[in-house]
Structure 1
Amino acid sequence: MKRKVASLLMVMVLALGMVACTSSGGESSTTSEETTDKADASASTEKKEDINVYWIGKTLNNPWWISVSDFAQQEADALGVNLTIAIPQEEVDLEKQVAMIETAIEKNADAIVISAASSDGVVPAIKKAREQGIKIVNFDTRISDKSVIDAFVGGDDEAGAYKAGKYICEQLGGEGEVAIITGLMAQSTGVDRHAGFMRACEEYTGIKVVAEQSAEWSSDKAADVTTNILTANPNVKAIFACNDQMAVGMVNAAKSAGKSADDLVLVGFDGILDAVDLVLAGDLDAFVSLPNLDEGAMGVKLASALVMNSEYVYDREIIYDCTLVTDGYIDGLTDQTIYEFAAERFPLRGVTENGY
């Protein structure tokens, strides 16, 4: 009886084994047509193993540009993208920036992320890169010919400068003489910030813009310009510097001229660590922040998306808000207090050199 039971169990095991083999074979077998379909599907989703992006900024002399390049690198590391960062020493060095574009072409870059040293001046080199099949992401400062770029990301400079002008006019009660220290007018940022400030001032009949002069984004030049403005216009009550590097020079020159915080309303634009320190010290009344976190990360994201997905189209500009930052909250004017801003952008202020 035991032998019969054992034999029966053996037969059942063998039968189950045959069924299992038949089932497994059925699942793994494919027709030639199915194989072709799978191969096509694999090919359509095949991704480039390495994405090589050249990130070209404007100047090493402004800490805002250092920060935005740091955030771009952080995003590239997170995405696994090979990022080459190239930044001229001087903001006005168009020739150096063009050479960097040429290098990106020679190195067969997949994408270039660039802020233009000259809105018109970079166009020929960018056209050449585009003809080589390189994706072009323009950020912060516009390239004038939109046909040569694939996407743009930046802050709303005109609206931000309008906020600065509005703040100044309100602080003066809608009356008084004001001045503006402009940046490079060959760059869209210089043009837009000037336009936004002037638009705000025009809304107040008692406000008179008595001086406007370029300091070319330079702190040292802004100090000289501020001295000239205060000497020629002793009744000036407020000055807007179109970037924070110039705001630093403006504050220093105002102090040297014997002006206190009660004498002048001083406002900058960008949101660098020096500006944070000046506001906290009571030497700078306010600044407009430029979205370095957003611009740094999104430029790399757009470049990666364009390389990996050739059908993507970005017809619209991607624009981030520029916030007005003040020491204390002012309803209707302040977007962020200095403490909120410092926590967001410089959480390690006083601990690390860069504050982040």
Structure 2
Amino acid sequence: MKKISVVLLILVLFLIPANVFAQGGKEVDTAASGGKMKVSMVLKTLSSEYWKRVVAGADEAAAKYNVDLTKLGPPSEDAIEQQINMVQDALTANPVALIFSPSQPATAVNVLNSAKAKGIPVILVDTPMPDGFTDYATFIGTENYAAGKLGAEAIIKKVGKSGKVVIIEGAPGNPTTTQRADGAQDAFKAAGYEILSRQPGYSDREKAYTTMQNILQVNKKVDAVFASNDEMALGALRALQQAKVNAAVVGTDGNKGALESILADGLFGSVAQKPEMMGYLAVENAIKLSKGETIEKRIDSGVDVITKETAQAALDKL
């Protein structure tokens, strides 16, 4: 009887398909992806320059490591429910890891709990989850409060130790843009600046343009503007130029349009994140997790403050 059982066990082992194997303690079927490891990425959107740069870095790593990378994102950063639905769809594909940038982190708790229940590790990119939520593998991104503070300090160095400033942040509930605005606001207050207004621009150029127009109807004297991303900075700049108000405007991200504006004496500067590095590191660490390796809980992708002196070199790197 024992001999028959052993023979049956050997037969079962030989019948297991070669495309089914264990990664990090989880069975993964790679048949549908041509033998490649499957990784899913859901970003806030795929339409803006910043997120296209994140995708470019992820694609580079996927090509290098032979990864089947699925990339999803709603048409705009405020399409919160649509993004959550995309995450749910991504989880049904049973990837070895989910790379995720939550548009509104508080609404993503349940779907990340679903990822945990399925044994799918989550790599957060750019935007962290709320304080106290720890069911994710790692966060890869910028220290956003410090980035905002650096941007404000660049303005203070140009304008001087006092002035009137407007702060434009992203959508309410978006910790990335809120933390940048917090850092900038604290730096301005410490330098004795008057905060004329702090309002959301929803990470959108046209919405920030309208926001800045409305602010200028009440405040004719503006010395500086800090925006939590470059798209909003460019929108605010257009409103200032139309109103013939000369103010130092600093954005965040270091996108191509912002760098070109800096060189053309439009924006004063940009706190440049490294989105390509975020995307690349996300895929690289997904592979490490699939192999059962231990990774850091937080990985800082770094920032640079770019002004006219360094804008051309930064543009050449893009």
Whether TM exceeds 0.5 here: the answer is yes
Distance in 1, matches of 2:22 and 2:215, equals 61
Gap runs ≥5 in structure 1 = 1-44, 329-336, 347-356
Distance in 2, matches of 1:110 and 1:127, equals 16
Residue 333 of structure 1: aligned partner? none
Q: Deviations over 1:304-335 (max 9, x none)?
A: 110112x5243x3111222110002xxxxxxx
Q: Is contact 1:123-1:148 (8 Å) kept?
A: no
Distance in 1, matches of 2:213 and 2:22, equals 61
1:225-240 alignment, distance < 5 Å: 225-240=211-226
Q: Secondary structure at the match of 1:175?
A: coil
Q: Across the two proteins, how many residue pairs are aligned to each other? A: 287
Q: Deviations over 1:53-81 (max 9, x none)?
A: 00111113321101111210111110011
**Post-superposition shift, 1:298?**
0.4
Residue 208 of structure 1: aligned partner? 194
Distance in 2, matches of 1:119 and 1:339, equals 35
Residue 164 of structure 2: aligned partner? 177
Q: Secondary structure at the match of 1:54?
A: strand
**Post-superposition shift, 1:271?**
1.2
**Amino acid corresponding to residue 342 of structure 1 in structure 2:** L
| Superposition RMSD in Å | 1.7
**Post-superposition shift, 1:303?**
0.9
Residue 117 of structure 1: aligned partner? 103
- 1:157 and 2:144 matched: yes
Q: Is contact 1:160-1:321 (8 Å) kept?
A: no
Distance in 1, matches of 2:169 and 2:187, equals 15
Residue 300 of structure 1: aligned partner? 283
Greater C-alpha Rg: 1
- 1:282 and 2:269 matched: no
Residue 33 of structure 1: aligned partner? none
Q: Secondary structure at the match of 2:288?
A: helix
Distance in 1, matches of 2:143 and 2:303, equals 6
Q: Secondary structure at the match of 1:288?
A: strand
- 1:186 and 2:168 matched: no
Alignment partner of 2:121 out of 125, 135, 140: 135
Q: Is contact 2:259-2:312 (8 Å) kept?
A: no
Q: Secondary structure at the match of 2:223?
A: strand
Q: Is contact 1:161-1:196 (8 Å) kept?
A: yes
Distance in 1, matches of 2:99 and 2:58, equals 10
Residue 250 of structure 2: aligned partner? 267
Q: Secondary structure at the match of 2:124?
A: strand
Q: Secondary structure at the match of 1:121?
A: helix
**Amino acid corresponding to residue 176 of structure 1 in structure 2:** G
**Post-superposition shift, 1:285?**
0.7
- 1:223 and 2:209 matched: yes
Q: Deviations over 1:120-178 (max 9, x none)?
A: 11110111011101111111011225322011110121111101111112212111111
**Amino acid corresponding to residue 61 of structure 1 in structure 2:** S
TM-score (norm 1): 0.77
Distance in 1, matches of 2:191 and 2:233, equals 24
TM-score (norm 2): 0.86
**Amino acid corresponding to residue 294 of structure 1 in structure 2:** M
Distance in 1, matches of 2:95 and 2:22, equals 19
Distance in 2, matches of 1:318 and 1:60, equals 23
**Post-superposition shift, 1:110?**
1.5
Residue 308 of structure 2: aligned partner? 327
Q: Secondary structure at the match of 1:186?
A: coil
Distance in 1, matches of 2:170 and 2:116, equals 29
Distance in 1, matches of 2:307 and 2:275, equals 18
Q: Deviations over 1:232-289 (max 9, x none)?
A: 1112111111111111211211121123xxx211111111111011111111110111
Q: Secondary structure at the match of 1:141?
A: coil
- 1:318 and 2:283 matched: no
**Post-superposition shift, 1:106?**
1.3
**Amino acid corresponding to residue 338 of structure 1 in structure 2:** A
Residue 76 of structure 1: aligned partner? 62
**Post-superposition shift, 1:46?**
7.6
Gap runs ≥5 in structure 2 = 1-20, 29-34
Distance in 1, matches of 2:114 and 2:146, equals 33
